[in-house]
Amino acid sequence: MIVDELFRPEVSPANPEIQQFMRSLHFSALLQRAPIEALLHAAGFSVLAWVVLSERYHVHTRSDEECDRLLHAYRVDGVHRGYIGGMLLEKFYNRGWVDYVLLVLTLHLAASR
């Protein structure tokens, strides 16, 4: 089982804010459903369930204005880039660019039985 934020298919990896987010968390690829499923399949896993938890439960986020204020303060203070990524992620939730997803995985062999 994996629970994480994944970006919706319509989000472009070329977007400057997405690029900043990926640099802040050292991602080389945008975490979206199709590439994740391909990666899991190549690793020998099958996805038994893909549940978008953020459709069922409220994900608390701050307003864009509060996120922008914190982003500015973090940059000035030179805090860890992961905090900047977290603030951007909250803004992406506000825009509907990202979902909080539960993945239930099994090995290919177990799925074929």
Intervals of the chain under pLDDT 50? none
Q: 6: closest CA among 24, 25, 27, 33?
A: 33
Identify the pLDDT of residue 92. 96
**Rounded to whole angstroms, how far apart are CA atoms 90 and 61?**
5
Identify the pLDDT of residue 43. 94
Strand order in the sheet with 2-7: 2-7, 98-107, 45-52
